[in-house]
């Protein structure tokens, strides 16, 4: 599949482009050649175990059905629990319970989860005794925004520890980082070594995905990672059989490739054709790795079973009835959350409502999707860098004005901690939630793992506020989490694709939300070939493979749902977004 791979190979890119499939297929290809491989997932929403049909988890696990392959999924929650115990465990019996409880509280936030996962990530990069056991270490990384943050963290933490002398705002999570300084420096060096590391940038042949690749490529080069390779996944084959949809999809793919930036077009490139079967299970992965034709058996449900699939416009009709409120679009990266959020926001604005469309996604594409102004629609983005700068200025103005020079310097140092960003983003998130009491607020959230970390911060804040309120105040208090849990104020819409892995991950997201007391309001199945018209054999086979997943959403998972057909052209701009919501009434 890929030639002359170095020791460390990272697969990264916009969520949903096939990073896991390519990472797993590459692993099997190398193992078939007699290589010993360690496959690592750093994605909070990892599905490597599901792909290999093996329970993996947070420990290195032998894949018995694939000789020569070991795998590990860095589970953020498990990593955080182990990290907390490493810090708190030695203190048990030495400190009072109240002091231990205070330390554990410091270690309960999302910042600790990120640091703990990062700690394991760098350990795998720098543990020579471990990596020497393998010919290659393959990383199936998280969606782009999370990956870029993780790759920047070695430098960020090293710089913070190098310069810092004062207290840190996340003192609990940062405990013990000082003695890890050398390990982080070694991680930075290894990531930047072109002879040891290659970054495979995975993208679908779509304008938005390739624009994301261009941004990622520049960000990686800026932190010294220049050994990059472009993988185009899911390219429509040239043989369209004259089918209008297939021909339009091929034209769309070719146009996207032609519009790549010069820097991206100049990268070494591999192209993988669209396949009719879902890449789940060893047999399908081995066929993919070998370049063999699809032979998987497709489970088809009766031809009339999926008649009259509900369109997106019906969901908008129901959403409009409240006249205001927060509507959050959530799901795995790459399933079309931005497009669905923009379409619903555009339709509500066209119906005369005051609408705010915003995103918490580090890889936001809202402006590209809207492609121009839209009457009645306001667009905003929670930009982590901007929000952090505003928060730092606010703290310095309020808490720093009466401090002496030394104390001000310590406070400024405290606010340079990478953990400050989490606090700033959460405050912006809370402000936007409050606006939904007056208007429609449509929120395009970040990819699933990042979103859950954000909701975890919301939940921690909610518990902390309630702990410090008297009974009378608590009766009047409305926290952000309360708004999220109230179906009259917030409606969660889960977006997915009609494929096995995206539906499974959306189901996991729904379960996580329910554990937080949040019940999803509806599901959207996006880019469905079954809902479109085509006679091309490859597309027909893919359409049949969708039936089982659509039926699962309809009959088991969703209270209400809509199906959006695959579009021959990318739905960019007001007219095309409105067309997604229009139907014969």
Active site residues: 16, 18-21, 43, 501
Q: DSSP H helical segments within 76-234, as ranges?
A: 76-88, 97-106, 110-126, 128-131, 144-163, 171-174, 181-192, 207-222
User: For 53-60, which contacts have Cβ atoms below 8 Å and span 24 or more sequence positions?
Assistant: 53/280, 53/281, 53/282, 58/82, 58/120
Q: Determine the Cα–Cα distance for residues 151 and 578; give it in Å rounded to an integer.
A: 38
Q: Which contiguous run of DSSP H or E holds residue 118?
A: helix 110-126
**Coil, strand, or helix at residue 360?**
coil
- H helices of 305-336, where? 312-320
Query: How many angstroms separate the first and last alpha carbons of the chain?
Result: 50
Q: Which of 225, 128, 62, 574 is nearest to 369 (CA)?
A: 574
Instruction: Please answer whether residues 3 and 193 qualify as being in contact, where contact means their C-beta atoms are separated by less than 8 angstroms.
Output: no
> Which residue is it, tokens 């695959």?
566
Pairing of strands 61-62, 69-73: antiparallel
Per the structure block, which two tokens stand in for 326? 């927060």
Q: What is the CA radius of gyration of the chain?
A: 24
Measure CA 275 to chain center: 24
CA gap 307, 4 in Å, rounded = 49
Task: Tell me the C-alpha distance between 234 and 85, whole Å.
Answer: 44
DSSP 3-state of 266: coil
| Backbone dihedral angles phi then psi of residue 524, each to the nearest 5 degrees | -120, 125
Please choose, from the candidates 48, 229, 47, 213, the residue with its C-alpha nearest in 3D space to the C-alpha of residue 144: 213
**Which residue from 93, 204, 158, 115 is spatially nearest to 421, judged by alpha carbons?**
115
List the structure tokens of 205. 């042949």
CA dihedral sign of residues 420, 425, 431, 434: negative
- The Cα-based distances of 539 to 234, 274, 388, 533 in angstroms read 12, 9, 46, 10
Distance CA 410, CA 403 (A): 10
The DSSP H or E segment spanning 145 is helix 144-163
Specify whether the CB–CB gap between 438 and 324 falls below 8 A. yes
Contact between residue 546 and residue 530 where contact means Cβ atoms under 8 Å apart: yes
Cα–Cα distance for residue pair 367/404, rounded to 1 Å: 44
- Angle among Cα 161, 162, 164 to the nearest 5 degrees reads 60
Return all residues near 579 (Cβ < 8 A) that are at least 6 apart.
571
């Amino acid at each position: 599949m890929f030639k002359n791979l170095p020791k460390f190979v990272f697969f990264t890119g916009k969520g949903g482009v096939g990073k896991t499939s390519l990472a797993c297929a590459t692993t099997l290809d190398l193992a078939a050649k007699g290589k010993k491989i360690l496959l690592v997932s750093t994605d909070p929403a990892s599905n490597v175990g599901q792909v290999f049909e093996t329970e993996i988890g947070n420990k290195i696990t032998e894949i018995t059905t694939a000789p020569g392959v070991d795998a590990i999924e860095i589970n953020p929650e498990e990593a955080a629990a182990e990290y907390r115990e490493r810090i708190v465990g030695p203190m048990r019996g030495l400190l009072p319970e109240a002091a231990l409880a205070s330390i554990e509280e410091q270690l309960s936030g999302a910042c600790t989860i990120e640091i703990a996962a990062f700690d394991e990530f760098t350990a795998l990069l720098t543990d020579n005794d471990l990596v020497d056991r393998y010919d290659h270490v393959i990383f199936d990384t998280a969606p782009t925004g999370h990956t870029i943050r993780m790759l920047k963290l070695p430098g960020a933490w090293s710089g913070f520890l190098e310069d810092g002398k004062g207290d840190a705002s996340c003192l609990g999570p940062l405990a013990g980082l000082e003695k890890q300084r050398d390990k982080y420096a070694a991680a930075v060096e290894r990531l930047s070594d072109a002879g040891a590391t290659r970054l495979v940038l995975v993208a679908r042949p779509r304008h938005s995905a390739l624009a994301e690749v261009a941004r990622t490529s520049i960000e990686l080069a800026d932190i010294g990672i220049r050994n990059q390779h472009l993988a185009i996944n899911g390219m429509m084959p040239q043989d369209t059989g004259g089918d209008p949809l297939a021909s339009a999809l091929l034209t769309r793919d070719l146009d996207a490739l032609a519009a790549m930036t010069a820097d991206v077009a100049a990268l070494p490139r591999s192209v993988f054709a669209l396949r009719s079967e879902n890449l789940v299970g060893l047999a399908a992965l081995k066929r993919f790795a070998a370049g063999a034709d699809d032979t998987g058996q497709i489970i088809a449900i009766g031809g009339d079973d999926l008649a009259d699939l509900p369109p997106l416009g019906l969901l908008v009709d129901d959403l409009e009835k409240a006249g205001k409120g927060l509507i959050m679009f959530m799901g795995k990266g790459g399933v079309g959350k931005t497009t669905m959020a923009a379409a619903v926001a555009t339709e509500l604005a066209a119906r005369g409502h005051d609408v705010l469309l915003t995103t918490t996604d580090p890889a936001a594409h809202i402006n590209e999707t809207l492609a121009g102004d839209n009457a009645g629609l306001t667009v905003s983005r929670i930009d982590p860098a901007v929000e952090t700068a505003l928060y730092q200025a606010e703290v310095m103005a309020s808490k720093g004005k009466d401090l002496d020079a030394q104390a001000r310097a310590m406070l400024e140092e405290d606010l340079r901690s990478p953990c400050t960003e989490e606090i700033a983003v959460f405050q912006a998130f809370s402000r936007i939630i409050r606006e939904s009491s007056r208007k429609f607020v449509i929120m395009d959230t970040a990819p699933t793992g990042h979103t859950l970390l954000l909701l975890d911060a919301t939940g921690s804040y909610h518990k902390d506020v309630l702990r410090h309120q008297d009974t009378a105040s608590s009766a009047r208090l409305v926290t952000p989490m309360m708004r999220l849990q109230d179906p009259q104020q917030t409606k969660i819409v889960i977006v997915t694709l009609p494929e096995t892995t995206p539906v499974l991950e959306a189901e996991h997201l729904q379960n996580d939300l329910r554990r937080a007391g949040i019940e999803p309001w509806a599901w959207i199945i996006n880019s469905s070939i079954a809902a479109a018209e085509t006679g091309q054999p490859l597309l027909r086979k893919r359409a049949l493979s969708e039936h089982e997943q659509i039926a699962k959403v309809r009959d088991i998972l969703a209270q209400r749902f809509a199906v959006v057909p695959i579009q021959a052209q990318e739905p960019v701009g007001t007219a095309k977004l409105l067309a997604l919501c229009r139907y014969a009434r």
